[in-house]
Structure 1
Amino acid sequence: MSFKFEKLIIWQKAMDLGEDINVIIEQFPKKEFYNLSCQILRAVDSVALNISEGCIEQSNPEFKRFLNYALRSLAEVVTCLYKAKRRNYNTQEKFDVSYQQCFDLMNMIIAFKRTLS
């Protein structure tokens, strides 16, 4: 048995991204715990949460709406990554990897959304 969303590659990738971001923020300074760290965690978790919520018992237009929420959260993650890089909390290499994950996931979500009638 499984939920329908568990089979979606976009949900699986969003879950992976969340865990990768969680590792990155462990290196942020303690002063960011209630600021940037919390913000990026909430945003990255929202990506997978919106995909799963939209997938369950929703019409395709409603599911698309939740996918749009996921995309917005993903944009927030990218902005937080930029903030962390500008504040020297993250290396360029780690930024590039995370940025690419976000970019790829964004394109996957957009492509998936187009398949919904």
Structure 2
Amino acid sequence: MNEKTGSYKDLIVWQQAMDLAVAVYGATKSWPKEELYGLTSQVRRAASSIPANIAEGYGREIRGSYQQFLRIAQGSLKELETQILIA
């Protein structure tokens, strides 16, 4: 990954993932308090995992590792989608 320049913060996908995480935290504030340690917590963890894995993968020196972290981020996105449908 020698061609890597800048920061993960410059990646549009990371910026959009951050916007999604912020929106999820805002939306879940009004969820029932009895779900705070259940579905609310799961949704928030999945949402914050997306930009976190993009950033962590970007910091890896090996392209294969970066791609694996992008796959993990994609998995977290699918997890979030499923939890939102449950909610």
TM-score (norm 1): 0.68
Asked if 1:14 corresponds to 2:17, the answer is: yes
More helix by share: 1
Partner residue, 1:87: none
Partner residue, 1:53: 56
Flag structure 2 segments of 5+ consecutive residues without an equivalent. 1-5
CA RMSD in angstroms comes to 1.0
Partner residue, 1:94: none
d(CA) in 1 for partners of 2:29, 2:35: 10
Instruction: State the 4+ residue runs in structure 1 displaced beyond 6 angstroms.
Output: none
Question: Could you list the per-position Cα deviations for residues 14-34 of structure 1 after superposition, in whole angstroms to 9, with x for gaps in the alignment?
Answer: 000000011110111011000
Partner residue, 2:3: none
Partner residue, 2:79: 76
- Equivalent of 2:41, from 38, 43, 62? 38
Question: Could you list the per-position Cα deviations for residues 19-54 of structure 1 after superposition, in whole angstroms to 9, with x for gaps in the alignment?
Answer: 001111011101100000000000000000000000
Shift of 1:57: 3.2
The residue identity in structure 2 corresponding to 1:17 is L
Q: Percent same amino acid among aligned pairs? A: 35
Shift of 1:61: 1.0
Flag structure 1 segments of 5+ consecutive residues without an equivalent. 85-117
